[in-house]
Amino acid sequence: MNAVLRRNGLGLVAWLVGIVFFLPIAWMALTSFHSEADAATNPPSFAASLTLDGYREFFGSGGGASPWPALINSTVASVVSTVCVLLLALPAAYALSIRRVRKWTDVLFFFLSTKMLPVVAGLLPIYLFAKNTGMLDNIWLLVILYTSMNLPIAVWMMQSFLAEVPVAVIEAAQIDGARLPTVLARVVAPIALPGIAATALICFIFSWNELLFARVLTGVVAETAPVFLTGFITSQGLFLAKVCAASLVVSLPVLAAGFAAQDKLVQGLSLGAVK
Amino acid sequence: MTATTAPLATAPVRATRQPSARLRAWATRAPLMPALVFMVVVTQLPFVATLVISLFDWNALYPKARHFTGLDNYRQVLTDADLRHSVWTTVLLTVTVVLVSLVLGLALALLLNRKFRGRGIVRTLLIAPFLVVPVAAALLWKHVLYNPEYGLLNGLLHYVGGPQPDWISNTPLLAVEASLVWQWTPFMMLILLAGLQSRDPEQIEAARVDGANDWQVFRHLTLPHLRRYLELGALLGSIYIVQNFDAVFTITSGGLGTANLPYTVYQSFYQAHENGLASAAGVLVVIGSIIIATFALRVVSSLFREEVSRA
């Protein structure tokens, strides 16, 4: 009896903590559907009438700048850099897991060590380089930088996914006369595909979230969504509903990608160290 | 794989065999090269440039006055009261956020490791804060939660007749830290949950049969097993939070004594155009990160070796 009570009790505690952690997000979602007047009350109005005004404001109907260029820039930077990461990381991971180069662990740790170099370490030279070559405010510069930012994570993750492909299966296929492309497509890909997908989603999240590079290196043309968010509260008056709508819209792709990659999230964030 | 280094018996054999062995070694290496070269060019070269610039007195507004000053920038960074303060802020921010989110994450991981109704839903609710875009999360805390007049925190306090503090002005660093703890606790929870689930159930079973209670199992089996996961969480968290820019930039704009080193570096070249000083501060951030990273690499490599030897 006591054990049953305790189990349910601790389950209840877990539920409570979960709700407390989620409360700011729930409140953000609710406020985004309130009018500005209802959003700025004390005590808070939970049951105010719902409206889409916050979203209309965010998407520029109120005369503010349209978020679409920034959202498109973010999409381009995140998607293209993720594709580049995959193109570079897949062959590299192959050479680090299936057909291993000598000292492959050293190479892996070199990749990891670049991830530990803070962004600010190279920010100024990159800025000066961009300024002198006319690459400032150019979305393709961000694509290159985001590729370098995510490549170590991707190499580590994919290495650990490809290493799960049993060597015996590959050898058996080769003995049966299968050529390398066939082996990759028929044997390696089916086993490694879920991992590759998760890697791509995680790279997408990190690129979408990035602020410092984008803030320093872009201006009007190549501005990304996070930069748009930071510059967007300039007007006087009430803006809470608008901020909530904006934050929610910008976070939606990350929430979707994150929940889709949920099972592999830890492995990616711990650079493959935790399975 | 070791074909290129294996000693070969006779000279004629070497002459015919080595080129093909070398060729094969390069064929093995080839898929790796693009990624490797790309990383060296994009991450290592700029850092070398930072090192060089840090030795110059160089304000971008007066490019003609640029000259070599040796370690003078470092002396200035280390003696400047504001910069020294930002070093301290960085340490305080990182340690507080990592420790608090680690302890909360451990508690949550232990809660979630038991079976209860709706566990999957609670897990999803708890991961969500980590999946809010950091800038959006910072805006949410600054305007929607902390706002002294109509923020949610003071709104809830209003119900119980509590005080109505101005959170960001009164406790600026704590305000930044709380928002970061909210975002990073899920990260720690996920790593520790993975650690808990990799425990050996038979060992725990055996301990239970021998009459160990919950606390004894936790203290003598779970905690030692979790040690490296705790270390990993702490070190990865430190690496990310030492570099934090988004929260400081958005919530306080580095004001009220909350400027950490990344923000200071950003400010000193983006606003003050002091390229030399900014680079020196950047190099100091790197040195700090290298110290943390050395430990981090050791932890990752011990987990990794275990993984490889198990396979």
Q: How does pLDDT run across A233-266, given as a tens digit for each residue?
A: 765 567 888 889 999 999 999 999 888 888 777 7
pLDDT band at A17 (very low <50, low <70, confident <90, very high): very high
Higher-scoring residue by pLDDT: B232, B96: B96
Residue A24 belongs to a domain: no
b/e burial code for range B215-253 (CB count within 10 A of at least 16 → b): eebeeebbeebbebbbbbbbbbbbbbbbbbbbbbbbbbe
| pLDDT higher than 50, residue B5 | no
Higher-scoring residue by pLDDT: B307, B254: B254
- ipTM greater than 0.95, yes or no? no
Contacts of B130 in chain A (CB under 8 A): 258
Higher-scoring residue by pLDDT: B57, A142: A142
Mean of the per-residue pLDDT values of chain A: 85
- Residue A89 is predicted with a pLDDT of 93
- Residue B191, chain A, CB below 8 Å: the answer is yes
Distance CA A270, CA B236 (A): 7
Contacts of A128 in chain B (CB under 8 A): 49, 275
Contacts of B45 in chain A (CB under 8 A): 122, 125
Residue A5 belongs to a domain: no
Distance CA B98, CA A204 (A): 25
Contact B285 A121 (CB under 8 A): yes
| pLDDT higher than 90, residue B212 | no
Q: What percent of chain B has pLDDT over 90?
A: 22
Distance CA B93, CA B90 (A): 5
Number of Cβ atoms within 10 Å of the Cβ of A9: 11
Contacts of B28 in chain A (CB under 8 A): 95, 99-101
pLDDT band at B266 (very low <50, low <70, confident <90, very high): confident
Mean of the per-residue pLDDT values of chain B: 83
| pLDDT higher than 90, residue B288 | no
pLDDT (tens digit per residue) in B131-165: 999 999 999 999 889 988 888 888 888 888 878 88
Contacts of B44 in chain A (CB under 8 A): 114
| pLDDT higher than 80, residue B1 | no
Give this prediction's pTM.
0.86
* Segment holding B106, helix H or strand E: helix B81-112
Its domain, for residue A161, covers 68-224+251-269
Contact A137, A221 (CB under 8 A): yes
Q: What percent of chain B has pLDDT over 70?
A: 92
Cβ-nearest to A274 among B118, B194, B297: B194
Window 118-147 of B: residues touching A by CB (8 A cutoff) are 118-119, 121-137, 139-141, 143-145, 147
pLDDT band at B100 (very low <50, low <70, confident <90, very high): very high
Residue A139 belongs to a domain: yes
CATH number for position A74: 1.10.3720.10
Best to test chain B binding among A42, A127, A238 (most B CBs inside 10 Å): A42
Residue A35 belongs to a domain: no
Distance CA B29, CA A57 (A): 54
CATH architecture of B81-310: Orthogonal Bundle (1.10)
Distance CA A115, CA B200 (A): 32
Cβ-nearest to B300 among A10, A25, A271: A271
- Residue B102 is predicted with a pLDDT of 94
Contacts of B299 in chain A (CB under 8 A): 273
Cβ-nearest to A125 among B46, B289, B297: B46
Residue A34 belongs to a domain: no
Contacts of A252 in chain B (CB under 8 A): none
Q: Is the peptide bond before A166 cis (omega within 30 degrees of 0)?
A: no
- Residue A6 is predicted with a pLDDT of 67
- Residue B13 is predicted with a pLDDT of 44
Contact B94, B173 (CB under 8 A): no
Contacts of B148 in chain A (CB under 8 A): none
Contact B216, B207 (CB under 8 A): yes
pLDDT band at B8 (very low <50, low <70, confident <90, very high): very low
Cβ-nearest to A124 among B114, B194, B279: B279
What is the domain count for chain A?
1
Window 84-113 of B: residues touching A by CB (8 A cutoff) are 108, 111-112
The nearest alpha carbon in chain A to B152 belongs to A44
The mean per-residue pLDDT over the stretch A205-219 comes to 91
Q: Where do the CATH 1.10.3720.10 domains begin and end in chain B?
A: 81-310
- Phi/psi at B68 (5° precision): -75, 130
Cβ-nearest to A101 among B28, B131, B286: B28
Residue A229 belongs to a domain: no
Window 162-181 of B: residues touching A by CB (8 A cutoff) are none
Q: Tell me which residue has tokens 């609670």.
A: B122
The mean per-residue pLDDT over the stretch B229-237 comes to 84
Range from A35-39, A186-190, B15-19, B79-83 carrying the lowest mean pLDDT: B15-19
Beta bridge pairs of residue B67: B57
In chain B, how long is the greatest CA-to-CA distance? 94
Cβ-nearest to A14 among B116, B187, B269: B116
Angle made by CA atoms B293, B298, B300, in degrees to the nearest 5: 90
pLDDT (tens digit per residue) in A54-87: 888 888 776 677 889 999 999 999 999 999 999 9
The mean per-residue pLDDT over the stretch B91-104 comes to 93
Residue A121 belongs to a domain: yes
| pLDDT higher than 80, residue A211 | yes
For residue B3, what is the DSSP state? T
Contacts of A272 in chain B (CB under 8 A): 304
> By C-alpha distance, which of B64, B47, B67, B43 is closest to B55?
B67
- Residue B309 is predicted with a pLDDT of 66
pLDDT band at A173 (very low <50, low <70, confident <90, very high): confident
Distance from CA of B191 to the nearest CA of A (A): 6
The mean per-residue pLDDT over the stretch A110-124 comes to 80
| pLDDT higher than 90, residue A106 | no
Window 55-84 of B: residues touching A by CB (8 A cutoff) are none
pLDDT band at B175 (very low <50, low <70, confident <90, very high): very high
Distance from CA of B81 to the nearest CA of A (A): 21
Q: Tell me which residue has tokens 């670049």.
A: A114
Cβ-nearest to A251 among B132, B143, B249: B132
Distance CA B211, CA A1 (A): 20
Cβ-nearest to B46 among A8, A21, A126: A126
Contacts of B193 in chain A (CB under 8 A): 266
Amino acid letter, B59: N
Angle made by CA atoms A57, B157, B160, in degrees to the nearest 5: 135
Distance from CA of A21 to the nearest CA of B (A): 6
Distance from CA of B90 to the nearest CA of A (A): 13
The mean per-residue pLDDT over the stretch A96-110 comes to 85
- Residue B10 is predicted with a pLDDT of 41
- Residue B148 is predicted with a pLDDT of 84
**Tokens at B305, concatenated:** 């070796």
